[in-house]
Chains A and B, each alone.
Chain A
Amino acid sequence: MPRQNFWSGLVVSAFALLALTWIIPEYAGSNPLAQMPPELVPNIAAWVMLVCGAIVAVGGLVGLVRAGESPLTFAIDWRGVAWAAWPFAYVAVAVWLLTMVKLTWLGVPLIALLLVLLGERRWWLVAVCSTVPVAALYVLSVYLMRVGVV
């Protein structure tokens, strides 16, 4: 856990630093006349993130040093990362496809393929689980909400 704290704290403070030095000054706008200028709240939030992220990172570092581990070496379980990442990739691809195809048409293969990838082999279950939600969406969008096919 100290290792996770060290790295996540570092990422949080790095993001906060980026926000404070570049994102907020560049994009938050400013209004010297306002009693509460628009950049005030984002700046407070970024400072909180910076300080807390730094504390978490330092806490993690202390834990690592006490345990006699080096903070910079780590073994990544690549198989674990790959397993965790592929559903994200799957949905991201689906989102990209959805810019061209409507979800109602994409729904059945979307659910069915994911089911199969997750290890389901009973064909009737795949058929039911992929068609029923899509049919429900069709009824909901076309007949109930009347927004047309989505």
Chain B
Amino acid sequence: MDFTVLGGAIGEALTLQSFIGIGGGVLLGYMIGVIPGLSRSVAIAIAIPMTFYMSPYIAISFLIGLSKGTAAGSAVSAILLNAPGEASSAATALDGYPLAKSGKPKTALQVGLLASVFGDILATVILIFVAIPFARVALMFGPYEMAAILAFALVFIAGLSGGSLFKGLAAGGLGVLLATIGLDQQTGLPRLTFGVTELMDGLPLIAVAIGTLALSEMFVQSERLRLQRGTMSVKLEHRPDDRLRWPELRRLLPTMLRGTGIGTAVGALPGLGPSVGSFMSWGLAQKLSKTPERFGKGAPEGIAASESADNAVIPAALIPLFGLGIPGNVSAALLIGAFAIHGITVGPLLLRDDPEFLYSIFAGMILASLILLVIGWYGLRLFAQVTRVPPHVVIPVVIFFCLSGMLLQGYGTFGLIVLMAFAVIGYLMKKFGYSFVTFIVAFIITPMLELNLRQSIILSGGDWSVLLGRPIALVFIACTLVALLVLAWRTVRGAVGPAPAGD
């Protein structure tokens, strides 16, 4: 690495104009992320026309700051309202909301923010020093490996769903079934679309996720209002010890390190996406914890695991982008477009032809993380007050934002109907103890898994010995089988033991 280039790049990153550009991006992203239904891709789409007037470096840093801000912002609504801004923050809500409700909203937000920034900066450092030279490693992950990883993720995450295993599996089955709606990936013929043109692209993920996660939660809370009114105060007490202390933070460090590792690996593999990362990380933290029963009930480790992985995915998705020119996920693909507007072709040649530009972007990314830390740290004092706002005031506003999120993305009435349908489904699942997490993860993973399985089957020509030359795939197949055995064992033990509690 050429350190004079690096120095010049850092110099450019530290100018006042870059501070303003990046800071503006982080702030805008943070505000958009807090609104359920407005995801990273929306934020970037909003911002791209604004970047026409900026210099290429400011424009790109602005957009990267924006996506970081969105990721951190969507954790805020996940923690405080149990209404994650996007699917990848659903894992954060699992522990964040209980912790906030127990009177420690500030601690929950602080853990979330610190884990975000930690995962972010560490993954950026990995991106700069390790990953780009080794980006080609990602090409070793062909269809066999991806299918094995996705199958593992599906089984592993399905096994996490607390409560009844069979209910979890049934919910997962529904997710898989609904994910197959749309044009068949190979023949292009409609599958389960019932002749509806809008269904040809499948059910829009954003509508399914916001309906199941955020909108249904508003209905659950409005129902709860009836029980609470008169009997207990809806106003939460704020505990005086609501503050993150250093010993506690130190205990979270290993979790955040693991989360960053998982997030980086998931981000570096094109196509997996942040939801897989945050749920895998949450699950691993639970498996490795000495007190797994605290997870889902307000364990700070759960927030740290999910958020560090979720945010590590963002810089890591740039590994294949800068190393190979392949976008790691949707927001990285959006960045290609933004680069193109400024006349820059993204890919391995960028490092060779214009390293100073590339390094100034990296410096800008780290700066964005630090700005995020400052904005978030002061912002959370303000946001933590949201828990003082009684739920009956929050509910109408969040419902409004769920609806507007769909309309802003152009899905129209169809999107609203899907949103509403999945709010009903999500409500019933919460009511009857079916894991909506398993459902949504199955819905996200299935299309990728089916595609990679198909590719593997056709590529191998039915000859399974091909797998012997694919050690990575074999490892993940073995992991999948172990996870299945563990699940089966848990089930059998549950069956012969005392009758399983309902949920």
Binding site for B on A (CB under 8 A): 1-2, 4-5, 8-9, 12, 16, 19, 23-24, 27-29, 31, 34-36, 38, 41-42, 44-49, 52-53, 55-56, 59, 62-63, 80, 83-84, 87-88, 91-92, 94-95, 98-99, 103, 107, 110-112, 114-115, 118-120, 125, 129-130, 133-134, 137, 140-141, 144-147, 150
Contacts and interface: CB of A to CB of B under 8 A. Distances in A.
A144 to B, nearest CB: 5
29 contacts: A1-B502, A2-B502, A8-B167, A8-B434, A12-B174, A27-B192, A35-B454, A36-B450, A41-B176, A42-B180, A45-B176, A47-B173, A48-B170, A49-B170, A52-B166, A53-B170, A56-B166, A59-B499, A87-B395, A91-B215, A91-B403, A110-B396, A111-B400, A115-B392, A119-B229, A120-B393, A133-B397, A134-B400, A140-B408
The list of the 9 closest CB pairs from A to B, nearest first, reads: A1-B502, A45-B176, A48-B173, A49-B173, A118-B392, A114-B396, A45-B177, A52-B170, A150-B407
Range of interface residues on B (Cβ < 8 Å): 35 or more
B330 interface: no
A24 B194 CA distance: 11
B229 A87 contact: no
B287 to A, nearest CB: 23
Given A34-B186, A140-B46, A12 B170 contact: yes
Contact of B462 (A35, A53, A134): A35
Contact of A4 (B404, B450, B501, B502): B502
A88 B424 contact: yes
A34 B408 CA distance: 39
Given A28-B191, A84-B223, A19 B177 contact: yes
A91 B423 contact: yes
Nearest to B402: A91
A38 B184 contact: yes
B396 A103 contact: no
Contacts of A98: 403, 407, 413, 416
Q: Report whether over half of chain B's contact residues are helix, strand or loop; otherwise say mixed.
A: helix
A100 B187 CA distance: 37
A145 B401 contact: no
B61 to A, nearest CB: 19
Contact of A36 (B42, B46, B219, B457): B457
A9 B171 CA distance: 11
Contacts of A111: 396-397, 400
A129 B420 contact: no
Contacts of B65: none
Interface string B420-435: 1001100110001110
Q: Which of B46, B192, B215, B499 has the most CB of A within 10 A?
A: B192
Contacts of A55: 166
Contacts of A35: 454, 457-458, 462
Nearest to A49: B173
A29 B404 contact: no
A114 to B, nearest CB: 4
Contact of A114 (B164, B399, B450, B499): B399
A89 B399 CA distance: 13
Interface in B154-179: 164, 166-167, 169-170, 172-174, 176-177
Nearest to B186: A34
B193 interface: yes
Interface in B1-59: 42, 45-46, 49-50
B396 A92 contact: no
A140 B408 CA distance: 9
A150 to B, nearest CB: 4
A103 B404 contact: yes
B392 A119 contact: yes
B223 A83 contact: yes
Given A27-B192, A41-B176, A87-B222, 6 more contacts: A9-B170, A12-B170, A28-B192, A103-B407, A112-B396, A144-B50
A146 to B, nearest CB: 6
A129 B401 CA distance: 12
A9 B395 CA distance: 30
A141 to B, nearest CB: 6
B218 interface: yes
B408 A120 contact: no
Interface in B225-276: 225-226, 229
Nearest to A112: B396
Interface string B184-222: 101101111110000000000000000000010011001
Contacts of B186: 31, 34
Nearest to A113: B396
B410 interface: yes
B191 A16 contact: no
A8 B163 CA distance: 15
A95 B457 contact: no
Contacts of B410: 147
Nearest to A3: B502
Given A56-B164, A98-B403, A118 B225 contact: yes
Contacts of A141: 404, 408
A137 B399 CA distance: 13
B432 A4 contact: yes
A19 B21 CA distance: 52
B420 A91 contact: yes
Most buried by A among B169, B225, B400, B502: B400
Contacts of A119: 225, 229, 392
B177 A59 contact: no
